[in-house]
């Protein structure tokens, strides 16, 4: 009589499920909060994405969308103004005069504030506070 050897064992396969594929819907407020966290000084996009169960590429797409104005980042506090001190000679040059005509644009939601060169910091701050109050 022939015996069946141990070489004919059945191979068993098993699959391990490591994650569940799901689609989440994120509100613009949630996206803004996560993007603000990702662009904070010293933040690593991959770490922020992992904390929120996102792919780093998805978070990068949100950052790009925020830069294009598709949603607004949360504003925890008003911008702080830092004095700019000239370096070099005290006499204004032609280049310095041309730089004064530069306009700074500040976008808050759907509102654009254009600040002309030479504007007083306290005046700009008052305008930004008024804009913030009107958006609240």
Residues 6+ apart with CB under 8 A from 102: 117
Domain assignment of residue 136, given as a range: 75-84+100-136
pLDDT in tens, 85-102: 666 655 556 665 555 567
Please tell me whether the overall predicted TM-score, pTM, comes out greater than 0.85 for this model: no
Q: Are residues 36 and 51 in the same domain?
A: yes
- Radius of gyration in angstroms for the set of CA atoms belonging to the chain, rounded to a whole number: 28
Q: Are residues 132 and 79 in the same domain?
A: yes
Residue 80 DSSP SS3: coil
Is 33 part of a structural domain of the chain?
A: yes
Specify whether the CB–CB gap between 78 and 127 falls below 8 A: no
Is 114 part of a structural domain of the chain?
A: yes
Is 95 part of a structural domain of the chain?
A: no
Specify whether the CB–CB gap between 62 and 24 falls below 8 A: no
In the chain, % of residues over pLDDT 70: 62
Specify whether the CB–CB gap between 99 and 117 falls below 8 A: yes
Is 8 part of a structural domain of the chain?
A: no
The reported pLDDT for the residue numbered 98 is: 58
**Residue 5 in this model has a pLDDT that exceeds 60:** no
The reported pLDDT for the residue numbered 78 is: 47
How open is the CA angle 40-46-48, to the nearest 5 degrees? Answer: 50
For residue 77, the surrounding DSSP H or E stretch is none
Q: Are residues 66 and 79 in the same domain?
A: no
In the chain, % of residues over pLDDT 90: 14
């Amino acid at each position: 009589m022939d015996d069946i050897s141990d070489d004919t064992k059945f191979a068993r396969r098993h699959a391990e499920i490591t994650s569940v594929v799901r689609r989440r819907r994120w509100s613009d407020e949630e996206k803004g909060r996560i993007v603000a966290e990702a662009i904070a000084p010293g933040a690593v996009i991959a770490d922020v994405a992992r904390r929120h169960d996102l792919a780093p590429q998805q978070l990068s797409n949100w950052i790009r969308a925020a830069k294009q104005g598709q949603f607004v980042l949360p504003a925890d506090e008003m911008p702080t103004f830092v004095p700019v001190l000239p370096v070099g000679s005290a006499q204004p040059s032609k280049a310095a005069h041309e730089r004064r005509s530069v306009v700074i644009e500040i976008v808050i939601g759907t509102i654009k504030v254009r600040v002309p060169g030479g504007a007083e910091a306290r005046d700009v701050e008052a305008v930004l506070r008024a804009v913030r109050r009107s958006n609240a």
